Amino acid sequence: MNDNTVLGGVRATEGQGFKAPDVIGIGINGVDAVNELSKAQPTGFYGSLLPSPDIHGYKTSEMLYNWVTKGVEPPKFTAVTDVVVDYPR
């Protein structure tokens, strides 16, 4: 899920009395995580993955193109490399 969705879940758990050490939220996008990870006190938001659109977007388009034009179905799982953005705990 994107960072904002995960942050909403983290806020909801805080509202129900959960403390930061009891929550683990990790989002995707990286950009929206910066403010949360810059807070003086850590929250349940542990980090975010920042995918590369140039790499992952190209690979996704290539797999879809090959599936549609050549009948080559993409694998059910494709591992990707991301930049991890996290809070130094």
Domain boundaries in the chain?
Answer: 3-86
Give the list of residues 6+ apart from residue 30 with CB closer than 8 angstroms, or none.
Answer: 3, 48, 49, 50, 83, 85
- What's the chain's average pLDDT? 89
Tell whether the model's pLDDT for residue 3 goes beyond 80.
yes
pTM for this one? Answer: 0.69
* The two three-digit tokens of residue 35, written as one number: 């403010």
Residue 31: the pLDDT is 77
Residue 49 has pLDDT above 70, yes or no: yes
83-86: strand order across its sheet: 25-28, 45-50, 83-86
Q: What are phi and psi of 82, to 5 degrees?
A: -130, 165
Q: Is the pLDDT score of 87 beyond 80?
A: no
